[in-house]
Structure formats: structure tokens, C-alpha cells
Amino acid sequence: MLTIPALPYPFTCPPARTALIVIDMQRDFLEPGGFGEALGNDVTQLRPSVAPTRALLDGFRARGLPVIHTKEVHRPDLSDCPPSKRNRGGGPLRIGDPGPMGRILVAGEPGSDIIPELAPLAGEIVIEKPGKGAFYATPLADVLAGLGTSHLVFAGVTTEVCVQTTMREANDRGFECLLVEDATDSYFPDFKAATLAMIRAQGGIVGWTAPSAAVLAALGACQSAIGSSRVA
């Protein structure tokens, strides 16, 4: 078992049933010229989460643990993007409009790609989702059932929207969830802080939070224990 120092109390999970989910680390959200900037956001606010997320990817990959990436994208004909979503916001670009990185949040366009630093490896699962939550209108629940997953570790952006929505969906489906504090960011730091507080309030009503260093240390200790038992 992994035991991770976390809030509101330690998060314990069986490695074989634990997966890392990296939410929406896409060019459209993190790079200049994408949808995030078109909405008037400072995209540099999301950059601090990139290195910790990469460290988590490396840690899970090194131990052969499942890694799942998500991307918020829509079909080219926008048939899965309701007008209420496309028409909301006051920016110069809307979903489906042509931008510096192709059509905004459309599958297959350059802006929909995950940033190079966090690009999925061959064989890693990528879930394309039309909504904020990764369970809505996607095969994620079936994928997790097939993996035998019971515990989820989350990274990604933005903390208060797609990350929190997916955590709440997962919580309602019976998964135990931990959000890695420095591997997630928001365009609004106050929103991130509030979300972390909400997740772990009332004894972990949605789940747990912990820094990446605590998660990686627990992974390292678990790997050492496995290695020692094999030698013995």
C-alpha cells in the first residue's frame, strides 16, 4: 500500500489499483494565442504546474502504473458543443473559430494537442471530452473499470473547473481521489486555493490534497519495498 501524507489525513491506496489522470494540459489553455488567452486570461499562471506534473508522469511511468490524459475538444462540426457553451464569454474567439493554433478546442487541431513537455507516450490512454468533467459522454468509466482502478491521483488545469468537476464525478462513482497541489493551477490563484479547501473540507468531502513531493516520496518508498521483497 502507498501511504501519502495529505490533507485532511493520509491518503492510502493500493498501487496496482491507482491511476494518474492529467486533465487538459493543452496548448489551447497553456500557450499564448489559445482559447485561455482569448478569454482574457494570463496563461503564464498555469505554467508552474507543468514541472510537477512531468515529475508525476515520470514517477508513474517508471513503475508501470496507469496514466490517463484528457483533452477538452469538440467535433469539427461542433455537434457536441451546445450553443449555450459556444456563445458564452466575451472574448474575440469562440469554440470552433480559427485562431493562431487552428480552430479553437476542435479535435485534431494543433491547439488541442497536449503541450510537448507532457505529451502522452505510445500506448497511454487519451480521453477526448466535450464537457468539463471527464466522465460525461466519454468511455472513462469503462476504461477505469477495465483497469480495476479504485484510486485516482489528479493533476492538470484548471483547478476549479475541469479538474474539480472530474474529481466530483469520480467521487460520486466511488473512487478515492487525491489532487496534487502543485501539479494543478488556475488563471485565478484565489480560485485554486478555494478549490483545494473545498475538496478536503469536512473530512475530505471530495477527496484529499498533497504536494507532488509527498506523492513521489511514497512512490519511491513503495518501489524500494517491492525491490527489497523481491531480493529477499
**Active-site residue list:** 24, 129, 162
Q: Which three cell numbers stand for residue 69?
A: 490524459
d(CA 5, CA 123): 31
> What is the helix (H) or strand (E) element at residue 186, kind and residue range?
none
Q: Which three cell numbers stand for residue 128?
A: 477526448
CB contact at 8 A, 61 and 121: yes
Compute the CA torsion angle 154, 68, 71, 117 (nearest 10 deg). 80
Outline where the chain has alpha helix (H): 27-30, 35-38, 50-62, 83-86, 140-147, 164-172, 189-204, 212-231
User: Looking up cell 487525491, which residue turns up?
Assistant: 178
Q: Is the link from the previous residue into 149 a cis peptide, with omega within 30 of 0?
A: no
CA atoms within a 13 Å half-sphere pointing along the CA-CB vector of 110: 9
